[in-house]
Amino acid sequence: MVDVKTQIASRPQDPPAEHMRNKRRHRRLQILKAVRDERKGVRVVPTDDKLRGVLKHPNGTGFRAKGGIVWPDDNFTQRRLRDGSVKIEAKEKPEAKADATISKAEATNLSGRPRSQTPA
């Protein structure tokens, strides 16, 4: 008689590779969440006070009598910014926070020398 096995031996999973895949996935999800949080809304003000009573976002958000309003950063808002009917409200940044930020060029300069001293 022939012995027939009904179960197939599975390959052993490599736990470190599985762990690394989860780490990469978790990091990617964190980056996507940060990008989505940055794009939540844009604070805009109308360029002309005549537009204040007329302009309204399709979600129903209109302008108040004074100041700006937060609109979602979507195609409608981008079109209004391009045609000039609204503009992004200027934010006043504290000086200490502005000094702590670095530019993209400084972040990519790995030599530690200022950009002007790097050889061509």
For residue range 66-79, list pLDDT tens digits in order.
989 999 888 999 99
Residue 119 lies in a domain: no
Range of the domain at 74: 39-114
- For residue range 17-29, list pLDDT tens digits in order: 677 788 889 999 9
Q: Which two tokens stand for residue 61?
A: 């958000």
Q: Which pLDDT score is estimated for 19?
A: 76
pLDDT tens track for 37-48: 666 788 999 999
- Tokens in use for 71? 């609109």
- Asked whether residue 53 is assigned to any structural domain, the reply reads yes
- Answer yes or no: is 8 within a domain: no
98, part of any domain: yes
Number of domains into which the chain is organized: 1
Look up the pTM and report it.
0.46
Residue 2: inside a domain, yes or no? Answer: no
Q: Is residue 31 part of a domain?
A: no
Dump pLDDT digits (tens) for 75-93.
Answer: 999 999 999 999 998 876 6
Asked if 115 contacts 106 with a C-beta cutoff of 8 angstroms, the reply is: yes
Residue 92 in domain: yes
Does 109 reside within a domain?
yes
